[in-house]
Structure 1
Amino acid sequence: MNKSQMYITMPDAPLPVALPGGWTVVHQGDPLTVMGPESDLTMFFLVRPVTSDTEQLFRLAWQQAEPEFDLPVGQTVELPSTDGWDTVVQVSYSTPESESRIAIAFARMLNTRAYITLIDGTKAGFSRRMAHIAELNNAWKPTGLKEPSLAGISPKAFGEDEQKAMSSFVDWAMRHIGIPGVAVAVVQDGNTVYAEGFGVRRAGETDPVTPDTRFMIGSSTKPLTTLMMARLIDRGHFTWATPVTKVLPSFALADSDVTQRLEMRHTVCACTGMPRRDFDLFFRFRGVRPEDRIAEMKQMSPTTGFGETFQYSNYLVAAGGYAAAHSYAPDLDLGNAYDRSMRQLVFEPLGMQQSSVHGIHSPLDAAPHGRTFDGRCAPIDPVIEQFVDSSAPSGAVWSNVLDMARYLSCELRNGQNEHGEQVVSVDSLLARRRSAVRIDGKTSYGLGLLLTEQQGLAQVTHGGNTLGFSADMFFLPEHGVGMVVLTNLRAANLFLTAIGQKLIEILFEAESKAETILTGAKKALDNSLESLRKRVKTDPGATAWIRDYVGNYVSEELGPASISREGEGFRIAFESWSSDLGVEEQSSESRQIVLTSAPWLGGIKLQLTDDPDILLLDGGQTKYRFVRVGEKRS
């Protein structure tokens, strides 16, 4: 063992576990208690007998860990495990928004014992140390835990019976959880062996989803961006170790030393400590150019050290993609340079004829959707998806499952396209699949790719979420198998997990978990919506006090906002989109104005402050202030 490394012994576990750097042991007894480097995040580990009343189990655990803990349950999710546990239960708690706090509990059941992890800390702490939390939680391997492994098993051919099984499951799953449209493709041995569409392109209409239907793929764009970068490395434009400033001289962060240290690989490795600042993208994007996004980064700095922990930054990926594109088309502005680079270096060589960067939304494309308060899927204004246009390398690609299958085929053929042409060198392709930063014991991040091990199978993957679409793609390099799933609904991640699990069950005859995953996801969704409707009020009596906040506001980072009365209710308009408003009153001292329209559905809250002319939006590591300008309006 490394003598400078600190270790802890988890309850019932035969082997010690390494603490991530900077973490300390607060209490070695029951519960085992550790604290994060900034002292704003605490984890407790304890074991108790399994009981039929899980809520009581958690309540008693919290009473021992934090006797004053009295937060109400916000959402409970119960899911089967693919890691050897009998059942996994996750509970998130409703916390006062003014405290900027997150509290979560896990109970993983094994035979008669419940292995409980309690996590309490600031939103900023969670944002910085999420990977460390996952690493510690997943490192808990008590005696008796037997993780299933499919290693050494060869997959079956994805033939007619397998296709029918997949189609039947996808059709049931999308209807059960309520997703308007889905497209799925499977690649095996370099060939597309399955491609099907399900449902409709737009809720309430009849135009069907087909394999040709295009969706936004969100962050599944990132592997395509790093493939473009790899091709430019082959051509000698730069290397992964070239400083970003040598490729894009205008690039700079707030810290000049960090700016000089940043290499091209660092932009796409999620390993530099740059925090996620997606609110900056969501709220203000009209007329914003890629050059403007690059300029905004001069006010940003990492919040953890290089290689210290996984932090995901769309801004930084955008910078790397634009820098690479600039080296290819230096006479064009960054947006057009990236478009040309992707078209000429990725889409055309791979035969991805229907794929494009942002492009014009067509009626033949799937429409974006979000959920309403009653759980229905409703189309949202496609304009809102333009938030990603100025950070295109991180998530602006539109594609369909046929084109994405061609990309997967290239990965599985070690850089060759479907015609056998070597599009990218094996060395440059595989450099993207080397671990750059650890996420937990089984998962790490490479260069625009997640590297993980699921049930003994090495998997390379990357999902994607926009405000109205969810996507996933993965491939198993050792078995020549890949899958892509595209949907036209925000935050359909557990649905995507279930579909991926179904493929593993079909090909490897793994234990059946997919249906239970989906059923658990539906139950969690219903519980979440019920909790939301209890917490957030939209009736005229409850929302009447918003009248005191009617007026115009501005945020230095997020731009303008205007609260107005609409009939008996209230509405807020930002630069390019708007939402109905509700209220959440957690106490007499904690009141929030809540955005209730799809796709936000209570996920964005404006806190009241001591100053009636200032509203606060908590972004975790960044707090945004909306300041009233001009006179109050009634």
Structure 2
Amino acid sequence: MLVAALLLAPPVAAQVGFTTPEGWTLTSKGAVTLVAPPEPDTRIAIVEVGAAADATDAAAKAWALYRPEAKRKMLVATPGAAKDGWDERVSLAYETAPNERAVVAALALRKGAAWTVMIADGSEPTFEKRGAAASLIQSSLRPAGYVKESFAGKTANRMTPERVKALTDFVAQGMAELGVPGAGIAVIENGRVIYAGGLGVRELGKPGPVTADTRFMIASNTKGMSTLLLSMLADQGRLRWDQPVTQLYPAFRLGDDRTTKAVLVQHLVCACTGLPRKDMEWILNTRRDTPASDTFKQLAATQPTSGFGELFQYNNLMASAAGYVGGMLAFPRLEMGVAYDRAMQARIFRPLGMTATGFSMAQALAAEHAAPHGTGLDGKVAVLPQDFNYSIHPARPAGAAWSTARDMANYVRLELSKGLLPDGRRLVSEANLLKRRARGVSAGEGRWYGMGLQEDVVADVSLIHHGGSMFGYKSDWVAIPAANVGAVLLMNGEEGRPLLRPFMRRLLEILYDGRPEAAADVRAAAAAFKAQLAAERARWTVPAAPEHLALLASAYDSPELGRLSISRNGAEASATFVTGRAGRLASRRNDDGSISFATYDPVILGLELVAAGSSGKPDLILRDAQHEYRFRPAP
């Protein structure tokens, strides 16, 4: 990777530095430097504007220098926290039509009187595929003279009761700002769980408090536990990390034969095989009785969109396959879903004392549990139905576990002890536990993805962690080996995501007396969410306009996503997928003349369907970043 420096246009004589990702090209002309991936449809422009009245003015001047012919309407400008040497940071979003499949955004940064503007201008599939590289450019863009914070060589403070309270107070404040009803928290230090408790309520409108034993969906935090199972099987000689997956499960197939042959066990959870994220099919077209084998059926129909080992591309189905392969090796005579469940209970949850952790939705909902919550287009927080959270069960090694703050603390303690149980017995070898942390593909500046785990280096301190996200649940855990400290945060609010990284940052601030940045990050994220929600609300007719609803058929079918039903209730219409009801529909006419429908209830807020076709009842197009799905009117 190349560290580039831009010579600023007069009268400013400083430089701005950033990192150019491997394989990207860099060209400069005057105040504009273009950074481009191998795909010809995408560019990132770094524009040295100099003086400007404000961020909006700076962005307008940047566009005039970069692409004066572009006439994009700005939707919203949202301030961010001042940090990384910048005195002011403002993100700007621009109008695009859904059929463009375009990403158009800007980040205006001010140091003193001079503005630098980063413009992202390109295709949605490319930005999704190369998101880690784009993040590297943005996160490494800093003004001249900036000195990065470093905790190298510092001895961490002890997590005294006062410091634990500083952490929980930070979470409580963040919850209030973001609209998160409840959180489970744990702190581990020197092999002991020194705090396990809860904040807020399990469900809005009810008094039940969150405790250390309240169950939450932990979503993708399941992945690291699944790879822990593989580590134990490696200890027993049941598999090798460098063994082709087809030797262990001959039926394993990917959409590309060459990729299939190249996939080793370690690649199942490396996010590096070139397979893109492909979640719509299991989210929208999974029944509660869908078998575990459906994971392998969907993988066989998934095509890579980048070279093997080239890019970070997160794929839940691959992680699901990893867990099921492990379960089949542990209990080869059982159905693969049953085998995985039994292996996880016998090999991991039971030895770690994780008595409240498992994959049964029914058991979790019958016990003390946190209800999921989300914010609708009206800005109100509401309890969500669990319909869509059932969808991950057939792919449960990737993210279907329920757990508690107390149980998760036991897991993090094992990570910190490098495989030792509290009584000194070894559960898994240090070598195979640490193999999961080996740096794989880059996920951004100072970030690498291993095997179901991620490493972030912040201020020269290594953090091992992984996040989790299902509908109405957000979580993360972190282990800081240098301090022998770990922490857990489980939340029951869809808007909890902006609290996850600041939670880790705040823990570092407490441990090393770091710059107080975390609280400002959360405040800025909360304000940005409200501004973006208001701007989005202004774009839509709620409920959908009658003339738009008249276009819709009562039912649609998609080969990949199944049946979509449209139901009417007076002036309102709702969309229901196989998995469950997505919500009521809003509508709008786009700049290109097309008609879009979007769900505005908080279950899947903003799921967009675009009408396609000019005669009869139109088809409906649903897209994720790299795939397009077509619903045709049912006969």
Whether the aligned pair in 1 keeps the contact of 2:86 and 2:143 (CA below 8 Å) is: no
Deviations, residues 299-322 of structure 1 (Å, cap 9, x unaligned): 112111112111100011111111
- Cα 1:50–1:524, aligned 2, differ >3 Å: closer, same or farther? farther
Instruction: Return the match for 2:376 from 372, 378, 388.
Output: 372
CA distance in 2, matches of 1:468, 1:184: 17
CA distance in 2, matches of 1:101, 1:35: 15
1:50: Cα distance to partner? 5.5
1:249: Cα distance to partner? 1.6
Whether the aligned pair in 1 keeps the contact of 2:541 and 2:588 (CA below 8 Å) is: yes
2:554 equivalent to 1:554: no
DSSP-derived class of the 2:250 partner: coil
Instruction: Return the match for 1:337 from 336, 339, 356.
Output: 339
1:105: Cα distance to partner? 1.4
2:400 equivalent to 1:399: no
Whether the aligned pair in 2 keeps the contact of 1:244 and 1:320 (CA below 8 Å) is: no
Whether the aligned pair in 1 keeps the contact of 2:80 and 2:524 (CA below 8 Å) is: yes
1:121: Cα distance to partner? 1.0
CA distance in 1, matches of 2:444, 2:503: 23
CA distance in 2, matches of 1:321, 1:116: 44
CA distance in 2, matches of 1:264, 1:29: 49
Aligned to 1:473: 477
CA distance in 2, matches of 1:383, 1:154: 47
CA distance in 2, matches of 1:123, 1:412: 39
TM-score after normalising by structure 1? 0.94
2:215 equivalent to 1:186: no
Whether the aligned pair in 1 keeps the contact of 2:44 and 2:120 (CA below 8 Å) is: yes
> Which AA in structure 1 matches 2:298?
E
Aligned to 1:325: 327
CA distance in 2, matches of 1:74, 1:262: 43
Aligned to 1:23: 24
Aligned to 1:198: 199
CA distance in 2, matches of 1:66, 1:501: 37
> Which AA in structure 1 matches 2:44?
M
Instruction: Return the match for 1:571 from 561, 574, 584.
Output: 574
CA RMSD of aligned residues (A): 2.1
Whether the aligned pair in 2 keeps the contact of 1:354 and 1:399 (CA below 8 Å) is: yes
Q: How does 1:219-298 map to 2 (within 5 A)?
A: 219-286=220-287, 287-298=289-300
- Cα 1:473–1:50, aligned 2, differ >3 Å: closer, same or farther? farther
- Cα 1:60–1:375, aligned 2, differ >3 Å: closer, same or farther? same
Instruction: Return the match for 2:487 from 465, 483, 486.
Output: 483
Whether the aligned pair in 2 keeps the contact of 1:583 and 1:593 (CA below 8 Å) is: yes
Aligned to 2:158: 157
Aligned to 2:618: 613
DSSP-derived class of the 2:166 partner: helix
1:41: Cα distance to partner? 1.2
CA distance in 1, matches of 2:613, 2:122: 21
- Cα 1:197–1:16, aligned 2, differ >3 Å: closer, same or farther? closer
> Which AA in structure 2 matches 1:517?
D
2:460 equivalent to 1:456: yes
1:21: Cα distance to partner? 4.5
DSSP-derived class of the 2:92 partner: strand
Whether the aligned pair in 2 keeps the contact of 1:273 and 1:303 (CA below 8 Å) is: yes
Aligned to 1:598: 602
Aligned to 2:167: 166
Whether the aligned pair in 1 keeps the contact of 2:465 and 2:477 (CA below 8 Å) is: yes
Q: Which runs of 5+ in 2 are unaligned?
A: 9-13
Instruction: Return the match for 1:308 from 292, 307, 310.
Output: 310
1:629: Cα distance to partner? 1.5
1:27: Cα distance to partner? 4.4
2:557 equivalent to 1:545: no
1:72: Cα distance to partner? 2.8
CA distance in 2, matches of 1:598, 1:104: 25
Q: How does 1:65-214 map to 2 (within 5 A)?
A: 65-80=66-81, 83-214=84-215
Whether the aligned pair in 1 keeps the contact of 2:548 and 2:587 (CA below 8 Å) is: no
CA distance in 2, matches of 1:237, 1:82: 49
Whether the aligned pair in 1 keeps the contact of 2:17 and 2:142 (CA below 8 Å) is: no
Instruction: Name whichever of 146-155 and 391-400 sits farther off.
Output: 146-155
- Cα 1:84–1:474, aligned 2, differ >3 Å: closer, same or farther? farther
- Cα 1:323–1:627, aligned 2, differ >3 Å: closer, same or farther? same
Instruction: Name whichever of 398-407 and 455-464 sits farther off.
Output: 455-464
DSSP-derived class of the 1:571 partner: strand
1:132: Cα distance to partner? 1.6
Instruction: Name whichever of 167-176 and 437-446 sits farther off.
Output: 167-176
DSSP-derived class of the 1:340 partner: helix
Whether the aligned pair in 2 keeps the contact of 1:180 and 1:199 (CA below 8 Å) is: yes
> Which AA in structure 1 matches 2:626?
Q
Whether the aligned pair in 2 keeps the contact of 1:543 and 1:583 (CA below 8 Å) is: no
CA distance in 2, matches of 1:422, 1:41: 50
1:292: Cα distance to partner? 1.6
CA distance in 1, matches of 2:235, 2:387: 37
Q: Which runs of 5+ in 1 are unaligned?
A: none
Q: How does 1:28-47 map to 2 (within 5 A)?
A: 28-47=29-48
Aligned to 1:625: 630
CA distance in 1, matches of 2:135, 2:611: 29
CA distance in 1, matches of 2:257, 2:495: 37
- Cα 1:130–1:343, aligned 2, differ >3 Å: closer, same or farther? same
CA distance in 2, matches of 1:271, 1:43: 23
Instruction: Name whichever of 65-74 and 530-539 sits farther off.
Output: 65-74
CA distance in 2, matches of 1:616, 1:377: 29
Whether the aligned pair in 2 keeps the contact of 1:17 and 1:139 (CA below 8 Å) is: yes
1:531: Cα distance to partner? 0.8
CA distance in 1, matches of 2:399, 2:599: 24
Instruction: Name whichever of 71-80 and 470-479 sits farther off.
Output: 71-80
> Which AA in structure 2 matches 1:620?
A
CA distance in 2, matches of 1:606, 1:357: 36
Whether the aligned pair in 2 keeps the contact of 1:82 and 1:455 (CA below 8 Å) is: no
CA distance in 2, matches of 1:439, 1:75: 28
DSSP-derived class of the 1:464 partner: strand
Aligned to 2:11: none
1:609: Cα distance to partner? 3.9
CA distance in 1, matches of 2:133, 2:30: 21
User: How many equivalent pairs are there?
Assistant: 625
DSSP-derived class of the 1:349 partner: coil
DSSP-derived class of the 2:104 partner: strand
Whether the aligned pair in 2 keeps the contact of 1:406 and 1:418 (CA below 8 Å) is: no
> Which AA in structure 1 matches 2:38?
P
Instruction: Name whichever of 607-616 and 473-482 sits farther off.
Output: 607-616
1:173: Cα distance to partner? 2.3
> Which AA in structure 2 matches 1:520?
A
CA distance in 1, matches of 2:174, 2:510: 16
- Cα 1:475–1:110, aligned 2, differ >3 Å: closer, same or farther? farther
CA distance in 2, matches of 1:35, 1:543: 44
1:588: Cα distance to partner? 5.8
1:358: Cα distance to partner? 3.9
> Which AA in structure 2 matches 1:466?
M
CA distance in 1, matches of 2:335, 2:86: 52
TM-score after normalising by structure 2? 0.94
Deviations, residues 531-567 of structure 1 (Å, cap 9, x unaligned): 1210121146x34421221321011111100112211
Instruction: Name whichever of 452-461 and 106-115 sits farther off.
Output: 106-115
DSSP-derived class of the 1:473 partner: strand
